[in-house]
Amino acid sequence: MKLETLDLQIIDTHTHFYDPTRPQGVPWPSQDDDFLYRRVMPEDYKSLAVNQGVKGTVVVEASKWFEDNQWILDLAEADPFLVGLVGNIDIDSDDFESNLNHLAGNPLFRGIRLGGGALGNVADQSFLNQLEQLASLDLELDLLIDAPLLSSVNTISEKIPDLRIMINHIGHVPIDGQPPDTAWVEGMEIISKQPNVYCKASGFVELAKGKPPTDELDYYRPTMDVLWNLFGIDYLVYGSNWPVSERYAAYQNVQQLAFRYFETKGSKAVEKVFWGNSKEFYKWIDRH
């Protein structure tokens, strides 16, 4: 089975766009990052992805500045290729509720991403109340975490069963061609039983311990098999993490790595992972 032979609407659920030449600059990436610190715009991504079958992308906002959420939404207004935004809002801010309500008025705004530090508040009812606001607005929560915080994800998913939760970059487990870390496997096993928790099939080349990362599927297969066995056909979602991934491998190689694995599970699995599950989770807007 070849990707180009499939009548498949691929949606890449993890891209970043930013422009350091704007008057205010950008808080990320750092000026010290010679690879990432450059203007990265939708047209740059499309020049790589469209001929790989990608029909649209969900953007994940990497800037911690609230105004930059609107900057992405403005880009999306001008370009229907951008089908959704996972925003970045300071959940500890006094303005969190009003900022969230403001952005939620745009149907392209699909939720927010939090880093692991925020989950230290998982026992705090006010923190849970803020996450409840996401659920009440039918928005989702992306989480950028690693294995020690998977138990916190389980707590959130149980307390707020209506909140859709997406684990980014497979929970940051190192990949070395061998069976993955036992603590990670155990944590993922617990949260995979929750019907509101999904996992993003992204970050594979970044997590490979060998650099430059190999494109040999068997190197990644032990980790991918765990993900497939736990989350199955309905709860895995493709994302490239471009342009970060480009530091390690070309866009085509990143996509093909995921595709070569999931095609072994059948055409239905490819359709679900590369398109259907992301529609179910993000409820992104079909703009074509």
Q: For residue 243, is it within any domain? A: yes
Residue 148 lies in a domain: yes
Distance CA 288, CA 285 (A): 9
Give the count of domains, the chain: 1
**156 φ, ψ (degrees, to nearest 5):** -60, -45
Taking only the tens of pLDDT, the chain with its 288 residues reads 444 445 678 999 999 999 999 999 999 999 999 999 999 999 999 999 999 999 999 999 999 999 999 999 999 999 999 999 999 999 999 999 999 999 999 999 999 999 988 998 898 999 999 999 999 999 999 999 999 999 999 999 999 999 999 999 999 999 999 999 999 999 999 999 999 999 999 999 999 999 999 999 999 999 999 999 999 999 999 999 999 999 999 999 999 999 999 999 999 999 999 999 999 999 999 987
- On whether residue 104 sits in a domain, the answer given is yes
**Within a domain: 183:** yes
CA distance 191 to 151: 8
**The CATH number of the domain where 25 resides is what?**
3.20.20.140
Q: Give CA 102 to chain center in angstroms.
A: 23
Answer yes or no: is 287 within a domain.
Answer: no
Residues 6+ apart with CB under 8 A from 234: 272, 277, 280
pLDDT (0 to 100) of residue 8? 75
- The pair of structure tokens assigned to 116 is 């692991």
Q: Is residue 159 part of a domain?
A: yes
Residue at 288 is within a domain = no
The domain in which residue 206 lies consists of 3-282
Q: Is residue 242 part of a domain?
A: yes
